[in-house]
């Protein structure tokens, strides 16, 4: 028995013990482009099926060693050959009992001989096509099962809720188990009653969700964000998205299934809101600082203009000097706070606990707003007691409180209007009243003024000017009344506002505790001339104005000053000058302060000199870098004169 050549044609095993019929069947099959194996006994047929796995066995019933029925039965019982197609052929199968026997043995079909060649081929091809269809269906079913398994595994592993909906029947086909964590109901409970989902939506969001769901039933798409109440009462924010599944063409008039995802975005939204709030607070802080930095510049410029007149009187010179000194101190503190950005990030306000003369804070506040008052033609009356008003606190912050109250009063008082500031003491407290005859405030606005979180509907019947002033007082010029109130409270005081009504003016009243008068020691009016040891000081700075100003100051103290406007000049002159102290700026072009310091330290003539960084960089990291670079000390511009004097006096220690 020959083994057939390898071919892509279907292999048919022709089992027939009669030579003539076997030859005829094989010839018909060969002409029909089938590959053919032949067997004459049942045992040979069983062996060839196991070896070659034919597509079909054309099996005669009468064989010399066993019945074809038994061969069929054995093949169908063996799992390795059970799927082999078997077409039984026999003669004289006329009665029903014999047909039942053929089918009972597991044959896929039978053929009564003699049969026409076309009938035999049609029967064979029909069985082969049926098997192809079965294999295709089996493969498709397996693929679908694998896909469904992968989909379920993916859906079950996601924290997001995945669902599939039949829009025609308004019925959920699938919902992932993660729905239990969101709704408190199992997936089975939600499939049984999808209305449970809507029951968890707060009433305020429900109409919007229902409208979005109705649109989804029509067009298969949805994207919405809403709130959901969990069983314990916790509110979660949900982002839902839906889209049609193109699993069928939809030509039958039915809508396409809709798949959707419900994602809990509460954490993300809170983080986003926190970032936006942080950015808003930062913008407000920077806007406030920018405004506050401009406040002391106005009186300083006025004082400088006075000094630049052709012949200012001696009294005017002293007055201008005092104004510049006070406002410079105020400006320095504000710049320090701007650099200390961590205070803003942490939401902290720090106060110096000094013994402050409140009259000084009030006078400085008046100086700050004087240019605005003069520009508006407004009249300011200042009534302060002659005795000292010692208050425990921060001079700069106290000045901020009253300069902002005066700024607001000037802003909302008409041109040529009147503003007054008076202070009185009683029972260990000082009461400061800032009164204007400007826009005034309604009762509702007075209640809301110090509470930026109060809802708008608490404001009843306020005029446009009233609302405008309230808005500007909260968010406009200055540090805002909310922060003013906080600063007052940090000083142990309280603030409130009184107003007869819109158009009747307003009075802001600040009450602060005062220290016993015995604790107050007025500052000395004049500085005692310096009498310490005279030093040789080298100043290195590319800012010519700063260089000249510091030179005059040090020379006035009796020191010898040598200047250099860049690092190269400083290195070239230092060896011959042999200074006791070198005050060195860091941010110079060409050769910065760090490189200049390195080269100066390499000069043997300067082994005993003190190297001091005098710079506008004042962050902790800047101070660490200067010390690592070999500087002995780090001073931040503008340098405090007392600190500089102590430095020069202490060189011999």
What CATH number is attached to the domain comprising 489? Answer: 3.30.565.10
Q: Are 476 and 493 in contact (CB under 8 A)?
A: no
User: Which of 305 and 436 is assigned the larger pLDDT?
Assistant: 436
Beta bridge mates, 614: 635
Mean pLDDT of the chain, nearest integer:
79
Q: Per the domain annotation, does 388 fall within a domain? A: yes
Helices 464-475 and 395-411 sit at what angle, rounded to 10 degrees?
Answer: 160
Of 79-83, 170-174, 411-415, the least confident: 170-174
Confidence of residue 155 (pLDDT cuts 50, 70, 90): low
d(CA 510, CA 183): 53
Q: Per the domain annotation, does 64 fall within a domain? A: yes
CA 76 to chain CA mean position, Å: 67
Q: Are residues 58 and 112 in the same domain?
A: yes
Confidence of residue 434 (pLDDT cuts 50, 70, 90): very high
Q: Residue 27 to residues 22, 38, 91, 116, 126: CA-CA distances in angstroms?
A: 9, 11, 20, 13, 19
Q: Are residues 290 and 422 in the same domain?
A: no
Query: Structurally, how many domains does the chain consist of?
Result: 5
Entry pTM:
0.41
Give the pLDDT confidence score for residue 464 in this predicted structure.
46
Task: Tell me the two tokens of residue 594.
Answer: 């760090």
Q: Are residues 40 and 117 in the same domain?
A: yes
Of 150-164, 467-481, 581-595, the least confident: 467-481
What is the number of residues in the chain? Answer: 653
- Please compute the mean of the pLDDT values over residues 263-292 and round it to a whole number: 77
List pLDDT tens digits, range 347-377: 566 677 888 888 888 888 888 788 888 888 8
Of 23-27, 280-284, 630-634, the least confident: 280-284
Q: Per the domain annotation, does 150 fall within a domain? A: no
Q: Are 36 and 16 in contact (CB under 8 A)?
A: no
pLDDT at residue 443 tops 70: yes
Q: What range does the domain containing 383 cover?
A: 352-526
Cβ neighbours of residue 93 under 8 Å, at least 6 residues apart?
A: 99, 102, 110, 112
List pLDDT tens digits, range 45-61: 999 999 998 999 998 88
Going by C-alpha positions, the residue among 114, 64, 66, 119 that lies closest to residue 90 is 114
User: Which of 523 and 318 is assigned the larger pLDDT?
Assistant: 318
- Please compute the mean of the pLDDT values over residues 133-143 and round it to a whole number: 77
Q: Per the domain annotation, does 541 fall within a domain? A: yes
Q: Per the domain annotation, does 169 fall within a domain? A: yes
- Of 76, 104, 136, the one marking the end of a domain is 136
Give the pLDDT confidence score for residue 151 in this predicted structure.
61
Q: Per the domain annotation, does 3 fall within a domain? A: no
Q: Are residues 492 and 358 in the same domain?
A: yes
Q: Are residues 169 and 258 in the same domain?
A: yes
pLDDT at residue 222 tops 70: yes
pLDDT at residue 193 tops 60: yes
What CATH number is attached to the domain comprising 583? Answer: 3.40.50.2300
Ramachandran angles phi, psi of 504, nearest 5°: -110, 10
Q: Per the domain annotation, does 593 fall within a domain? A: yes
Give the pLDDT confidence score for residue 370 in this predicted structure.
84
Q: Are residues 233 and 299 in the same domain?
A: no
- Please compute the mean of the pLDDT values over residues 32-55 and round it to a whole number: 91
Give the pLDDT confidence score for residue 93 in this predicted structure.
52
Beta bridge mates, 126: none
Give the pLDDT confidence score for residue 507 in this predicted structure.
92
Q: Are residues 561 and 596 in the same domain?
A: yes
- Of 348, 367, 391, the one marking the end of a domain is 348
The bridge status of strand 354-357 relative to strand 390-393 is antiparallel
Q: Per the domain annotation, does 6 fall within a domain? A: no
Give the pLDDT confidence score for residue 219 in this predicted structure.
86
pLDDT at residue 84 tops 50: yes
pLDDT at residue 466 tops 50: no
User: Which of 600 and 177 is assigned the larger pLDDT?
Assistant: 600
Q: Are residues 356 and 500 in the same domain?
A: yes
User: Which of 418 and 293 is assigned the larger pLDDT?
Assistant: 418
Q: Report percent pLDDT > 90 for the chain.
A: 8
Written as one string, the DSSP assignment of 103-131 is HHTT-SEEEEES--HHHHHHHHHHHHHHH
Reduce the DSSP state of residue 420 to 3 states and report it: strand
Buried b (16+ CB within 10 A) or exposed e, 462-485: bbeebeebbeebbeebbbbbebbb
pLDDT at residue 284 tops 80: no
- Of 264, 298, 331, the one marking the end of a domain is 264
Of 139-143, 195-199, 520-524, the least confident: 520-524
Going by C-alpha positions, the residue among 421, 415, 310, 431 that lies closest to residue 363 is 421
- Please compute the mean of the pLDDT values over residues 559-585 and round it to a whole number: 88
pLDDT at residue 527 tops 50: no
Q: Are residues 520 and 556 in the same domain?
A: no
Q: Are residues 173 and 61 in the same domain?
A: no
Confidence of residue 148 (pLDDT cuts 50, 70, 90): low
Give the pLDDT confidence score for residue 388 in this predicted structure.
78
Give the pLDDT confidence score for residue 519 in this predicted structure.
56
Q: Are residues 126 and 177 in the same domain?
A: no
Give the pLDDT confidence score for residue 44 in this predicted structure.
92
pLDDT at residue 181 tops 70: yes
Give the pLDDT confidence score for residue 454 in this predicted structure.
45
List pLDDT tens digits, range 255-266: 678 888 888 888
Q: Are residues 379 and 517 in the same domain?
A: yes
List pLDDT tens digits, range 385-422: 877 788 888 888 888 889 888 888 888 888 888 999 99
Give the pLDDT confidence score for residue 339 in this predicted structure.
55
pLDDT at residue 440 tops 80: yes
């Amino acid at each position: 028995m020959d083994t057939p050549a390898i071919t892509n044609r279907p292999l048919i095993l022709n089992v027939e013990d009669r030579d003539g019929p076997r030859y005829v069947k094989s010839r018909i099959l060969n002409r029909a482009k089938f590959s053919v194996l032949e067997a004459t006994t049942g045992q040979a047929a069983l062996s060839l099926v196991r070896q070659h796995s034919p597509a079909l066995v054309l099996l005669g019933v009468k064989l010399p060693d066993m019945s074809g029925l038994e061969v069929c039965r054995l093949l169908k019982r063996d799992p390795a050959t059970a799927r082999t197609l078997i077409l039984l052929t026999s003669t004289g199968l006329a009665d029903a009992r014999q047909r039942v026997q053929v089918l009972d043995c597991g044959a896929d079909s039978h053929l009564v001989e003699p049969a026409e060649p076309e009938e035999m081929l049609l029967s064979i091809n029909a069985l082969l096509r049926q098997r192809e269809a079965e294999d295709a269906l089996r493969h498709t079913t397996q693929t679908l099962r694998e896909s469904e398994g992968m989909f379920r595994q993916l859906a079950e592993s996601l924290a997001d809720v995945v669902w599939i909906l039949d829009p025609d029947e308004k019925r959920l086909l699938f919902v992932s188990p993660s729905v239990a964590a969101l709704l408190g109901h199992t997936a089975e409970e939600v499939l049984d009653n999808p209305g449970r989902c809507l029951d968890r939506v707060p009433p305020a969001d429900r109409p919007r969700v229902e409208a979005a769901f109705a649109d989804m039933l029509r067009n298969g798409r949805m994207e919405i964000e809403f709130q959901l109440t969990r069983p314990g009462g916790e509110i979660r924010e949900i982002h839902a998205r839906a889209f049609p599944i193109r699993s069928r063409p939809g030509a039958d008039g039915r809508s396409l299934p809709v798949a959707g995802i419900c994602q809990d975005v509460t954490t993300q939204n809170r983080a986003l809101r926190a970032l936006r709030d942080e950015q808003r607070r930062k913008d407000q802080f920077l806007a406030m600082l920018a405004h506050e930095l401009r406040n002391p510049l106005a009186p300083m410029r006025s004082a400088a203009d006075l000094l630049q007149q052709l012949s200012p009187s001696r009294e005017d010179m002293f007055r201008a000097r005092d104004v510049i000194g006070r406002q410079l101190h105020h400006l320095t503190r504000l710049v320090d706070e701007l650099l200390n950005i961590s205070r803003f990030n942490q939401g902290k306000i720090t106060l110096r606990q000094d013994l402050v003369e409140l009259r000084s804070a009030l006078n400085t506040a008046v100086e700050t707003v004087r240019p605005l008052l003069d520009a508006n033609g407004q009249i300011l009356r200042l009534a302060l007691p002659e005795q000292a008003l010692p208050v425990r606190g921060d001079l700069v912050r106290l000045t901020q409180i009253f300069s902002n109250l005066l700024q607001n009063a000037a802003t909302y008082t008409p041109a040529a209007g009147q503003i007054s500031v008076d202070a009185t003491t009683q029972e260990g407290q000082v009461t400061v009243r800032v009164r204007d005859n400007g826009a005034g405030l309604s009762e509702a606005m007075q209640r809301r003024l110090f509470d930026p979180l109060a809802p708008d509907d608490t404001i009843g019947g306020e005029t446009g000017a009233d609302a405008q002033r309230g808005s500007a007082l909260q968010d406009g010029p200055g540090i805002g009344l909310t922060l003013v109130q906080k600063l007052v409270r940090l000083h142990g005081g309280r603030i409130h506002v009184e107003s007869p009504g819109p158009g009747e003016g307003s009075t802001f009243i600040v009450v602060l505790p005062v220290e016993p008068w015995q604790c107050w020691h007025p500052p000395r009016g004049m500085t005692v001339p310096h009498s310490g040891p005279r030093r040789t000081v080298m100043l290195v700075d590319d800012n010519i104005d700063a260089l000249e100003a510091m030179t005059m100051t040090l020379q006035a103290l009796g020191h010898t000053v040598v200047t250099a406007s860049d690092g190269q000049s400083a290195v070239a002159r230092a060896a011959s000058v042999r200074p006791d102290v070198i005050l060195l700026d860091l941010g110079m072009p060409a050769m910065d302060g760090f490189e200049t310091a390195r080269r100066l330290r390499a000069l043997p003539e300067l082994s005993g000199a003190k190297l001091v960084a005098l710079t506008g960089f004042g962050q902790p990291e800047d101070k660490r870098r200067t010390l690592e670079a070999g500087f002995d000390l780090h001073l931040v511009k503008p340098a405090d004169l007392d600190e500089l004097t102590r430095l020069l006096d202490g060189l011999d220690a």
